[in-house]
């Protein structure tokens, strides 16, 4: 282990590491992420980062919260990005810690472009996305030879908080498995669109809340009943919506938390 850690590049003053914290379980952090947390002078972190992960920073590291949650007062993205630039120009080793993977619905690309435009050296540390790790902890393979050889990742809302303007017909007809991030607010509209473009109303759906954490919840339902069952169950975001017959495998592969059904 020491030999591996010794080969991790140094965290240079005046630079920014854009680091993925993964879906929640601290055990899914990469070695680069752990070493970055230990070396950082300032940690700018998201809302979904756990206390266990935050505790991995050095004693002198300054923690700055920059979380964004729907429907609640939140930091503006431009302010967060400009703060990264300002801290780096002060000569700080700045670690920007983002839930999941920085480049999968994490706006890491926007932050990286601003850093590049300001000549700030940066490194991107990828992570296990919740759309992969969350499914694994729920006993749902993202792909399985007997069910699908393709999958689609989809955000449940656009920049204005509305249902995204994607080609719903092509997604409904072309993707055997659909994983929706941040889609709880619009779950009724999303499922109605998929059914309207030909998906079977009885196709299995899983809702995975607090993926990979001790309080993980997995609700198994169908496209037709998903909206009602989510409302009745009281399950709350952050949550993933998974559509496809791989969901049925959770009955046999659910090793971490039991799947509940209405």
Instruction: Give ∠ CA 180-186-190 in degrees, rounded to 5.
Output: 60
CA distance 210 to 145: 27
Q: How far apart are the first and last CA of the chain?
A: 46
| Residues forming the active site | 46, 68, 182
All residues at 6 or more sequence positions from 41 whose CB lies less than 8 Å from its CB, including other chains = 13, 60, 61, 62, 92, 93, 94
DSSP 3-state assignment of 92? coil
Q: Could you give the maximum distance between any two Cα atoms of the chain, in Å?
A: 57
Give the helix ranges, DSSP H, for the chain: 2-6, 31-39, 51-54, 77-89, 108-117, 130-137, 168-174, 187-196, 226-233, 250-253
Q: Which helix (H) or strand (E) is 16 found in, with range?
A: strand 16-20
Q: What is the β-pairing status of strands 204-209 and 239-243?
A: antiparallel
CA distance 253 to 84: 42
Of 79, 83, 76, the closest CA to residue 43 belongs to 83
């Amino acid at each position: 282990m020491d030999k591996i850690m010794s080969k991790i590049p140094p965290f240079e003053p005046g630079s920014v590491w854009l680091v993925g914290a993964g879906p929640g379980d601290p055990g899914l952090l990469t070695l680069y992420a752990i070493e970055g947390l230990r070396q950082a002078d300032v940690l700018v972190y998201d809302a979904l980062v756990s206390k266990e992960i935050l505790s991995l920073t050095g004693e002198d590291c300054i923690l700055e919260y920059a979380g964004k949650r729907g429907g609640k007062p939140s930091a503006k993205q431009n302010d967060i990005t400009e703060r990264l630039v300002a801290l780096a120009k002060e000569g700080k080793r700045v670690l920007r810690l983002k839930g999941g993977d920085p480049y999968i619905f994490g706006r890491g690309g926007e932050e990286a472009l601003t850093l590049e435009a300001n000549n700030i050296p940066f490194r991107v540390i990828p992570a296990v996305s919740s759309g992969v790790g969350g499914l694994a902890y729920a006993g749902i393979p993202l792909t399985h030879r007997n069910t699908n050889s393709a999958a689609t990742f989809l955000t449940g809302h656009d920049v204005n908080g509305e249902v995204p303007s994607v080609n719903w017909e092509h997604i409904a007809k072309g993707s055997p498995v659909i994983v929706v991030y941040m889609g709880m607010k619009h779950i009724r509209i999303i499922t109605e669109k998929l059914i309207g473009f030909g998906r079977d109303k009885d196709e299995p759906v899983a809702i995975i809340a607090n993926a990979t954490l001790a309080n993980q919840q997995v609700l198994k339902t169908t496209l037709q009943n998903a909206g009602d069952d989510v409302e009745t169950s009281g399950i709350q975001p952050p949550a993933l919506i998974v559509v496809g017959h791989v969901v049925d495998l959770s009955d046999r592969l659910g090793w971490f938390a039991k799947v509940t059904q209405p």
